[in-house]
Amino acid sequence: MAAPVLINIHDFMDHLKAEGLVIVRGDELANHKEASLKVLQKKYMKKKSLTFKEILDAELLPVKSKQGIESWINRGHIKPAEVGEAKNGVRFILTSAIRRLGYED
């Protein structure tokens, strides 16, 4: 086994800065992700409708996939009148459905 190579801490820090990298605690990173998610949710909920992808990206419903959203539609949680399709074929859901279901902060 080869002996470990030691590097100067200042060189290491300069390398991190040059690459735009930082070292943070895990809980700080989790807090940042949560705050970013809240901002995205507020932004999206100002719109009249959202695509399935937007709903999943903002974690607005407790589903993890487009199939999960489809099952909510099929089970009647999301009403047919709250679902539409754009001219380009992308399906969307009215944000009023998300509010009605109680998933808006």
**pLDDT tier, 29 (very low <50, low <70, confident <90, very high otherwise):** confident
- Which band of pLDDT confidence, cut at 50, 70 and 90, is reported for residue 27? confident
pLDDT > 70? residue 105: no
Question: Distance of alpha carbon 35 from its chain centroid, rounded?
Answer: 11
What average pLDDT does the segment 34-46 reach?
93
67-72, Cβ contacts within 8 angstroms, sequence gap of 24 or more: 69/93
- Continuous segment of H or E residues that includes residue 85: strand 83-85
